[in-house]
Structure 1
Amino acid sequence: MNLRQLEILRAIVRYNTTVAAGRVLGLSQPAISNALKTMEEQVGFSLFQRSNNRIFPTEETKILLNEAETIFEIHKRIEMRIEDLKNNRIGQLRLVATPPLGYGVVAKAIQQIQKKKPNLKAFFDVHRYEDVIEYILSHRSEIGFVMGFAEHPGIVSQVVYKGHMVCVMPPEHPLMKLSVVTPQDLVRHRFIALEHGTKLGDALRHAFRQSKQDLHFAVEVRYGLTACALANAGVGVAVVDPLTADSSQYSLAQRPFVPEISVMASVVWAENRSLTRVSRQFIREVENIVHDR
């Protein structure tokens, strides 16, 4: 006896007549009667007693339906889960990001999407650029967010933000009198440089070479957030990407840095993997956040 037959049997018992059962299930009365006849032939015993044009379930039918109730409960849960998936109400996100994005826009996007989807589970980690790419290629994360993505075999990318690096400093710093900050302006102040060999660190050094100015630093750090922490502590000034500057917990002032250093944030995923609906929605959340800034 299959699930549809059990459903018909249950409806006949619940609604007392084959006519009412057919109406609820969207079947004709003859179709219900034929289904009942087929079921009795299959099981080899009567499922109903007939008296005065009325039918009453036998004890065997009651036992059968009592056992089948667990099946109907499971089926109902599956239908509810399908509806949740259809409306994108549940699921999970496996995310990875580099620090400039992970501690700012991605963290904010997680907060935003979980407000809309309280049951959504997120698995999130922050790593250096090379590790983010590895996480995506090995499917340990579905989507990743990186600054300055370079084409990589097996990786698909989509730009979510474009901007230019800025100089950050305490609000009372003398450089705040300038409309823009140049490498020549930084010579007279203690400078916190991004690490040589990193994408943004090398871009910063190229800008100094363009200006025919040597780069001298008081401190060298790997991440922009570290530079912001030191700038807030009065160690010096730094040039970081604007997403890091905006996400910093510190009350740092900003000035445009010239020559301009373009920065680009991208979402990446594996070429051989289709994005889930919830991942696509998360990408839209990130895009909305960077757009609003």
Structure 2
Amino acid sequence: MVLTLRQIEVIRAIMMAGTVKGAADLLGVSAPGVSRAMKHTEAQLGIRLFSRRHGRFTPTSEARGIFGQVNEVFAKVENLQYSIEALKRGQSSVFSFASVPSIAQHIMPRAVARLRRRFPELRMNINILKIEETVDYLLLKKGEVVAMSYKIDHPGLISHPLGSGRLMAVLPEDHELARQHVVSLAQLVEQPLIGIDPSDPYGHILSSAFTDNGLPYELPIQARFSHTVVALVAARLGVALVDEFSVATPHLPGVAVRPISEETALTAYCVVNAETPRSIFADELIAALRSEMRSATQARRQAGVREASVE
């Protein structure tokens, strides 16, 4: 006969309290329930565990040897429970993940804040990667998740959609086009363009918006990251096209962000190792990223509606 955890708990409580009532108080149950459980356990085992005298329970000589093991089992259960609770808090864990720069600038910090609230003791190692660095990062298990602005087709990786956003015009705040509610791609190509090399996967998404509409795409100034592009626009060196998540904040000093009149879209992804089960931290981060991307697109659209109504 195998003792259940509940039976072990009852035996230990009686050992500690010495009375049924005391054991019941320790367990937070009724005394008759403890008494019935004890009688049932002794009947199943075929031995008496306690002798009863004047309402006190003392271990019988034949059962005395098992009580040390009962304490050991209970201690291991308590240690297991402590470990589970520590895992829930993120204690003694290091969660490594990464993001491309466009998502890392505004969306990722807000998602990490959500993760911190959920797991206040979780240690995190956050990397910023270019798209071409992602494959090695995940296959070598340097981290669990990479937030991407581009879907990676690789047999060892899985790309899950996070959210979709538009491409946005970024203009110096005093630029003549900043007075418009919406800007066309044709208007942008008439200005000095700042962007990312079209041979870069992210840069290709941006350049395709122009070429797919039959517009020329020349870049007098190229930069490696979207936040550098935005900084160059703020310095009045030109105008740019970036994805909505790169500018997902109401505070961008020196620049104005306007939607594009043409139909544009960019889908962000979380990429994971196909062979590695996701941790609860990875699941929570992915959920937080999706939520923040939804909030960012909704806020941008609401801001556009307010601006249009003012005009």
- For 1:141, the equivalent position in structure 2 comes to 143
Q: 1:288 aligns with which of 285, 288, 291?
A: 291
Which residue is 2:28 aligned to?
Answer: none
Deviations along 1:137-178, one digit per CA (max 9) or x if unpaired, are 222222221012132212222211112211112222111133
Deviations 1:59-103 (A, max 9, x none): xx9999799867744531312333565xx4436533111111122
TM-score between the two structures when normalised by the length of structure 2: 0.73
- Tell me whether 220-229 or 185-194 shows the greater mean CA deviation: 185-194
Match of 1:118 among 120, 132, 156: 120
Q: What is the match of residue 127 of structure 1? A: 129
Q: Distance in 2 between matches of 1:197 and 1:205?
A: 9
**How far is 1:130 from its partner?**
1.9
Which residue does the alignment assign to 2:260?
Answer: 257
1:31 to 41, 48, 54: 41
Q: For residue 209 of structure 2, what is the aligned residue in structure 1? A: 207
Identity %: 22
Partner residue, 1:90: 90
Looking at structure 2, the residues matched to 165 and 50 of structure 1 have their Cα atoms a distance apart, in angstroms, of 80
Aligned to 1:273: 276
1:186 to 188, 198, 213: 188
Instruction: Please state how far the C-alpha of 1:236 moved relative to its aligned partner.
Output: 1.8
Tell me if structure 2 keeps the 8 A contact 1:8–1:32: no
Q: Distance in 2 between matches of 1:109 and 1:139?
A: 22
Q: Secondary structure of 2:138's match? A: helix
Q: Which amino acid aligns with 1:103?
A: Q
1:229-263 superposed Cα distances (whole Å, 9 cap, x missing partner): 11122222111111002248623211223544421
| Contact 2:12-2:70 within 8 A present in 1 as well | no
Unaligned runs of 5+ in 2: 24-31, 297-311
Determine if contact 2:20/2:35 at 8 Å carries over to the other structure.
no
How many angstroms does 1:132 deviate by?
1.9
Whether the 8 Å CA contact 1:168–1:238 is kept in 2: the answer is yes
Alpha-carbon shift at residue 19 of structure 1 (Å): 8.7
Q: Return 5+ residue gaps in structure 1 as ranges.
A: 40-47
User: Which residue identity lines up with residue 278 of structure 1 in the other structure?
Assistant: F
- 2:101 corresponds in structure 1 to 99
Instruction: For 1:168 and 1:174, locate their aligned partners in 2 and report how far apart those are by CA, in whole Å.
Output: 12
Q: Distance in 1 between matches of 2:273 and 2:295?
A: 28
Contact 1:203 1:261 in 2 (8 A): no
Q: How does 1:223-238 map to 2 (within 5 A)?
A: 223-238=225-240
Shift of 1:127: 0.6
**Aligned mates of 1:79, 1:187 — CA distance in 2:** 62
Aligned residues: 283
C-alpha distance 38-143 of structure 1, shift in aligned 2 (>3 A): farther
1:197 aligned counterpart, secondary structure: coil
Which residues of 2 match residues 66-81 of structure 1 at below 5 A?
A: 72-81=74-83
3-state SS of 2:37 partner: coil
User: One-letter code of the match for 1:233?
Assistant: A
What is the Cα-based RMSD across aligned positions, in Å? Answer: 3.8
Alpha-carbon distance, 1:193 to partner: 1.8
